[in-house]
Homo-oligomer: A and B are copies of this chain.
Amino acid sequence: MSRRSFWAWGLEQDEPTEQQVREAAARLSQRYGVAVEPVMPPRAEDLQLRAPRISPPSSLAAICATDDHDRAVHTYGRSFRDRIRAYNLQFPNPPDVVAHPTTEDEVTAVLDWCSSNGYAAIPYGGGSSTVAGFEPPEGYDGIVTVDLSALDQVLEVDDVSRSARIQAGAYGPGLEAQLRPHGFTLRHYPQSFEFSSLGGWIATRSGGHYATNHTHIDDFVESVRMVTPTGVWESRRLPGSGAGPSPDRMAIGSEGILGIITEAWMRIQARPQYRASAGVTFPSFMAGSEGARRVVQAKLWPANCRLLDPGEAQTAAGMDGSRALLIIGFESSDLPQDDNIRQAVAIARDAGGTIAEEDIRISAPGDRSDESSGGDTGRQGAVGAWRNAFIGAPYQRNITTGMGLVAETLETAITWERWPAMDEMVRGALQETLDRVCGGGSVSCRFTHVYPDGPAPYYTWEGMGRRGAELEMYAEIKQAASDAIMAAGGTITHHHAVGRLHRPWYDQQRPEPFAEALRAAKRTLDPNGVLNPGLLVDV
């Protein structure tokens, strides 16, 4: 099997071919009116990392790797910054050791080794972070990245309560493959699905498949088991509780600073049998936004309720660029969704949306249409096209890496009444900075999730920069957009997490007494300060 690429999304076999690079260079040259030179990506053989500064004790040697490739793979996530640095073979501060524990006892042993020596211990799930969530810290004599991917089993399935005990290192596809024979699915499909893990989803409050109601992984966690330097943190399996502040909600989103999540009981779903969907178009993004607001405030709880602005509807769903597209989808294991989709469409039409009656798609068990085929006629064609673009996007980004393009996504959430002002501020900040830094560029937006009290907007932006100067240009644009989000009253992240990237804005956002409480908690659980240092708080 192909190894993971040390710089690109996916495996080495997913790295761009020479032909792809040439085509992309030509495409960018045409789009931006500059001569973009096709340069071939780096090779793993060119990696030259700092020699490991520490060696694992003999008891752990069998599960520890120190070769350059493994350490490079575990240095960066897959944000724009990460890909650029890896592509440029810039690895000034890689982990010294990558541990691959195969049991919880081995996780504990690795953590003990780090804690007693003051080495940074960095939990690693699937490596998909876009916020430098596991990038090694400066100032440590030793850095040990703890890759949980060998802990990848679904250990128990409770089909009465519809829960499963799953090891933290299970990646999306493997986890689903193990649930499938039982007739269940977790149904958590972040864009990183292929290369992200259950533990990573929990540690970062990942946002998934469901666009309304239960949007984050948070709502699917029944209990968490986490190894800390001072003992095992394990909550009771409960469908609900009111006993003090939720222990799970303190572990969820803790980004590896309090402990290493080793397993969790998760609420699982029966596989959907009934589906209904509709792509409703609107004359503008704000008109579509009003449609989305009314649908979600009616509490129909569609599984999908994603709004694409005219730009995204054009590039991702093949529309003409003049109208926004609101994709509404229902699904159920047990019940026909005909009435739900008709009620939602009626609300969307009442808000000014347009859809032909024959473009409302409804399917029942036995129909040919299933979740992997979106259909190919009418508006459903746009829905299906968008879905394919979503899954393929990270691979597309591989191809243009290193050509001078500066491009990224960013996401937030805001209450509805402040949303139009936020959109103006964030788009304005992005466009103004792109114009100044890159001499122009594009900005588009969609809603990934919507709540009765507000949307989670997701911006995509790009501009043509200068090869070699991408990181500085990126930093300026990211700063302007993040400052705008803060000024508008939003959150610096809805589901990408904080990491090192968002710390400056996170520090403005969280209540200071809460930060003090979190610092105190970390000092108590991790007295030597070895767990993912620099994330969320400084201690």
Q: Which residues of A pack against B, CB within 8 Å?
A: 158, 160-163, 204-207, 213, 215-216, 218, 222, 226, 228, 230-247, 249-255, 258-259, 267, 270, 293, 297-301, 332-335, 339, 343, 347, 413-417, 449, 451-456, 489-498, 502, 506, 509-514, 516-521, 523-525, 536
Contacts and interface: CB of A to CB of B under 8 A. Distances in A.
B509 A236 contact: yes
Contact of A491 (B243, B250, B495): B243
A231 B512 contact: yes
A490 B240 CA distance: 10
A246 to B, nearest CB: 5
9 contacts: A160-B293, A160-B416, A232-B511, A235-B511, A239-B415, A239-B452, A240-B456, A298-B334, A516-B525
Contact of A233 (B414, B494, B511): B511
Contact of A513 (B218, B230, B245, B456): B230
Contacts of A510: 235, 243-244, 247
Contacts of A517: 250, 258, 520-521, 524-525
Given A235-B511, A335-B300, A415-B158, A516 B243 contact: no
B252 A245 contact: yes
A452 B267 contact: yes
Given A233-B514, A236-B489, A453-B239, A161 B415 contact: yes
A250 B161 contact: no
A362 to B, nearest CB: 14
A529 to B, nearest CB: 14
A160 B416 CA distance: 6
A205 B243 CA distance: 8
Contacts of A417: 158, 160-161
Nearest to A204: B242
B253 A514 contact: no
Closest 5 CB pairs of A and B: A239-B454, A517-B521, A249-B249, A239-B451, A205-B242
Contacts of A452: 161-162, 239, 267
Contacts of A339: 339
Contacts of A493: 241-243
Contacts of A163: 415, 453
A272 to B, nearest CB: 11
Contacts of A245: 249-254, 518
Contact of A489 (B237, B254, B333, B498): B237
Given A160-B416, A161-B416, A206 B524 contact: no
Contacts of A449: 240
A491 B244 contact: no
Contact of A451 (B240, B300, B513): B240
Nearest to A411: B242
A73 B312 CA distance: 61
A453 B415 contact: no
A332 B233 CA distance: 41
A332 B344 CA distance: 14
Nearest to A270: B297
